Amino acid sequence: MQTDSSFTFVLFGGTGDLSMRKILPALFEAHRAGGMLADSGKIFAVARHAADRSEYLQWVNEHVKPHVSKNGVDEAAWASFLKRIEFVKIDLGNPDDFALLRDAIQDLPGIRVFYLATGPSLFVPICHALASVGLNANARIVLEKPLGYDLKSSNAINDAVGEIFAEEQIYRIDHYLGKEPVQNLLALRFGNALFEPLWRREWVESIQITIAEELGVEARGDFYDNTGALRDMVQNHLLQLLSIVAMEPPHSMDSDSVRDEKLRVLRALKPIDPRDIGKVAVRGQYHSGVIRGTSVPAYATEPGVRPDSTTETFVALKVEIENWRWAGVPFFLRTGKRLADRVAEIVVNFRPVPHSALGASALRAGANRLVIRLQPNETIRLYCLAKQPGEGMNLASVHLDLAFDQFFREGQMEAYQRLLLDVINGRLALFVRRDEQEAAWRWVEPILNEWKASNKPPKPYASGTWGPAASSAMLAQHGTCWLEEEN
């Protein structure tokens, strides 16, 4: 991942939550590692909530430093990192201010990266303002989610940005694609003869993909109440993970080869008939409850949320892929807030053996499975059956572990660090192409429309649980259950 490429990294929303928690810490880790960022690379923070560079660096010390280096901050590295940072005070609502940015960076060498860590309503005005001062050439632009509210609004943003930047200049970021286990899933499938022959309907019974959060909406009530879990998590993160799990082997790992195969999966998703949505889609909303001994409020009483809100904070879906590899295999997707644990994982349940001379336990569903844990601890675990010590042929579930932090002694790279380096170095494979995004919206929209038309409230669930009972019932109809229910 080392580079000698000069760059200018311009961070819009330089005092925002994302910049504080993710972007600036990721850039610091790349700087601290040595050799990942060119010495000449500069970081320009753009905001209007600081008076000058000195005040902005004070903000960075107070708000960003606590989020870097879990094992303590290397003070020398931190001091040298701060030397990379410049500040430009800009009112994003005033296009004339962008001349200040042009004057600050126009003579600097290398590629320009514009990271839009702002609300999507500002994407188009920022792009137009950049073009008005000639900063859209020799540049790459990073767009954070959510990119639109539906297919129409997403297309409107993409059309407007596409008039100013070519598709190969646009990096639509989904940080789950930068996680180490997701990269290892590709290595596991396409680098080993062991798994690829089994990765199909003949040997896979079902697949679960879960992204669960203990937190509620926190300070994002205004945003979340107009978005909901389906838009916030399913349309992007979960469908991207699904496409990685289900894609065909690309002929190479170049950006278009990988994204072409992901697109084929998204286009092969079986459309959900509005009449069947009650059977294959569960939506819920958290009520008050207790998480790890602490009482938490109901969603409807959160700041910024309407008291009569019908916005979903939980979604579970049964998804099918209509192609030869996966026909008939159910994919169960689930995401929610205020759930019992913070976890993101992919569970591949292999079919039991067709006949067992070793007893009923060898025929048990889920006896053979692969669990890919994305967070909080990143591991890959393969479950199989083995004989218990002692008399008789008694089988027990055992597992083989790949715990990355134990096997690989060097520190793991965080998702944002990997993705930011990919932007600087011009690697697009881990970013979402426009046609992928359109395919995902096209599949999700009938669910959104049916929920809106039916006007049925989400199913309630207590905070600190795993969501509405209907989610478990949906899997039970297919003779299976969520992983934590079995354990």
**CA 170 to CA 289: how far, in whole Å?**
42
CB 320 within 8 A of CB 332: no
- Take residue 327 and report the two structure tokens written for it: 């026909």
Q: Among residues 249, 242, 128, which one has the least CA distance to residue 182? A: 242
Which residues are paired to 387 by β-bridges?
Answer: 395
**CA 20 to CA 26: how far, in whole Å?**
10
Q: Please calculate the CA angle 57-58-59 and round it to the nearest 5 degrees.
A: 90
User: Per the annotation, does 421 bind a ligand?
Assistant: no
**CA 245 to CA 243: how far, in whole Å?**
5
SS3 (DSSP) at 60: helix
User: Per the annotation, does 213 bind a ligand?
Assistant: yes
**CA 6 to CA 236: how far, in whole Å?**
31
User: Per the annotation, does 202 bind a ligand?
Assistant: no
CB 462 within 8 A of CB 270: no
Beta strands of 122-203 (E only): which ranges?
139-143, 170-172
CB 462 within 8 A of CB 285: no
Q: How far apart are the first and last CA of the chain?
A: 40
SS3 (DSSP) at 455: coil
User: Per the annotation, does 342 bind a ligand?
Assistant: no
Exposed/middle/buried for 274, CB within 10 Å: 0-12, 13-18, 19+?
middle
User: Per the annotation, does 42 bind a ligand?
Assistant: no
281-287 vs 314-319, strand pairing mode: antiparallel
User: Per the annotation, does 175 bind a ligand?
Assistant: yes
Q: Among residues 105, 153, 157, which one has the least CA distance to residue 130? A: 105
SS3 (DSSP) at 392: coil
Q: Among residues 33, 25, 106, which one has the least CA distance to residue 66? A: 25
User: Per the annotation, does 232 bind a ligand?
Assistant: yes
Reply yes or no on whether 128 is catalytic: no
User: Per the annotation, does 91 bind a ligand?
Assistant: yes
Cis ω for the linkage preceding 376 (within 30 of 0)? yes
**CA 461 to CA 459: how far, in whole Å?**
7
**CA 25 to CA 31: how far, in whole Å?**
10
User: What's the one-letter identity of residue 103?
Assistant: D
User: Per the annotation, does 222 bind a ligand?
Assistant: no
Q: Please calculate the CA angle 454-455-457 and round it to the nearest 5 degrees.
A: 120
CB 415 within 8 A of CB 431: no
SS3 (DSSP) at 135: coil
Catalytic residue, chosen from 237, 251, 355, 478, is 237
Q: Among residues 124, 90, 117, which one has the least CA distance to residue 105? A: 90
Which residues are known catalytic residues? Answer: 237
Residue list, annotated binding site = 48, 91-92, 145, 175, 179, 213, 232, 337
Residue list, annotated binding site for substrate = 175, 179, 213, 232, 337
